[in-house]
Amino acid sequence: MRIASFNINGVRARMPRLLEWLEERRPTVACLQEIKCQDADFPAHEFEKIGYRAIWHGQKGFNGVAILADGSEPFEIQRGLGGDPEDEQSRYIEAEVGGVRVCNLYLPNGNPQPGPKFDYKLAWMRRLRARMAELRAAEVPAVVLGDFNVIPEDKDTFSVRAMASDALTQPETRDAYFRILNDGWTDAIDTLNPRGGVWTYWDFQAGAWQRDQGFRIDHLLLSPECADRLVAAGVDKAYRGREKASDHAPVWVELRD
């Protein structure tokens, strides 16, 4: 099975491009972030017409996540990340699909740093680590994927200097990410591309796409039960160059059945 993640940056604005990608690439599971719509406005019917069933967790104006599955309805396990009853942002949804636990997240950006948004990001990462520890303890095959808003290492950005004061590269951000990995998770794209230089995001501004000035912030983390089944992982880079594209490209992992 192939499990994909795509920060779509406004699901309604991207529908033609998104349907195109689903039909051309036909992922078994497609996780979306930044759907930027309320629950009532999610275009579930458009996905059903091409054979995908969906669950989603929307929010007015920004954030919002969804899980699409080819030919079956994802079995919802959890919506929203635990650990903070005050947190009302729609950034997490978890489901069972084809015997795999699929955990789709849109991690807070955290800029500007320092400040309350950065504090929220770091707190969110601690809460995520707690949820992922539960999944590890249960020993279920799990893929935790999405827009992490983390540039893990210097090799994951076109310019270390340009990103030096950005929340995505701060030592605290990276520490939190590697604390999670060291609990026993495998970063699929990094494992298959250890030298780096793989981008998943290119800014809309300053000709970043044309200059190939991007970075890697969309990640697919595999539990040991899934890491044993890793066949391939990659970025559908060409979709970033199409008309009315998102600023992210889709990322995917292929698991042996």
Partner DNA sequence: ATGGCTTTAAAATAAAGA
Query: Using the rule CB under 7 A, is 168 a contact of DNA?
Result: yes
List the one residue from 9, 90, 173, 186 that touches DNA (CB under 7 A): 9
List the one residue from 171, 206, 256, 257 that touches DNA (CB under 7 A): 206
Q: Look-up: residue for tokens 């994951």?
A: 156
Q: Which stretch binds DNA (CB under 7 A): 49-57, 96-104, 122-130, 242-250?
A: 242-250
CA 221 to chain centre: 10
- Among residues 106, 177, 201, 239, the one annotated as catalytic is 106
Q: Is 64 left (phi over 0), alpha (psi -120 to 50) or beta?
A: left
Q: Which stretch binds DNA (CB under 7 A): 23-31, 57-65, 80-88, 222-230?
A: 57-65
The closest of 7, 3, 24, 1 to 216, measured between CA atoms, is 7
Q: Look-up: residue for tokens 């990340």?
A: 81
The closest of 33, 10, 30, 13 to 22, measured between CA atoms, is 30
Contacts of DNA in 63-92 (CB under 7 A): 63
Query: Using the rule CB under 7 A, is 38 a contact of DNA?
Result: yes
List the one residue from 23, 49, 50, 60 that touches DNA (CB under 7 A): 60
Query: Using the rule CB under 7 A, is 159 a contact of DNA?
Result: no
Both tokens of 246, joined, read 């998102």
How many residues comprise the chain? Answer: 257
- Partners of 5 in the β-ladder: 31, 251
Query: Using the rule CB under 7 A, is 3 a contact of DNA?
Result: no
In sequence order, what are the residues at sequence separation of 6 or more whose Cβ sits closer than 8 angstroms to the Cβ of residue 31?
A: 3, 4, 5, 6, 65, 66, 67, 68, 102, 104, 145, 146
- Going residue by residue from 210 to 239, which x/- string records binding to DNA, judged by CB under 7 A? -----x-x----------------------
- Among residues 70, 147, 187, 218, the one annotated as catalytic is 147
Q: Give the angle subtended at the CA of 66 by the CAs of 163 and 148, to the nearest 5°.
A: 20
41 or 48, CB closer to DNA?
Answer: 41
Query: Using the rule CB under 7 A, is 36 a contact of DNA?
Result: yes
230-235/201-202 β-pairing = unpaired
Q: Which stretch binds DNA (CB under 7 A): 34-42, 127-135, 178-186, 190-198?
A: 34-42
Q: Which stretch binds DNA (CB under 7 A): 110-118, 135-143, 170-178, 220-228?
A: 110-118
Q: How many CB atoms lie within 10 A of CB 161?
A: 7
Nearest distance in Å: CB 121, DNA = 9
Residues that bind DNA (CB under 7 A): 7, 9-13, 34, 36-38, 60-63, 108-109, 111-112, 117, 147, 149, 166, 168, 201, 203-206, 215, 217, 244, 247-248
Active site (catalytic) residues: 106, 147
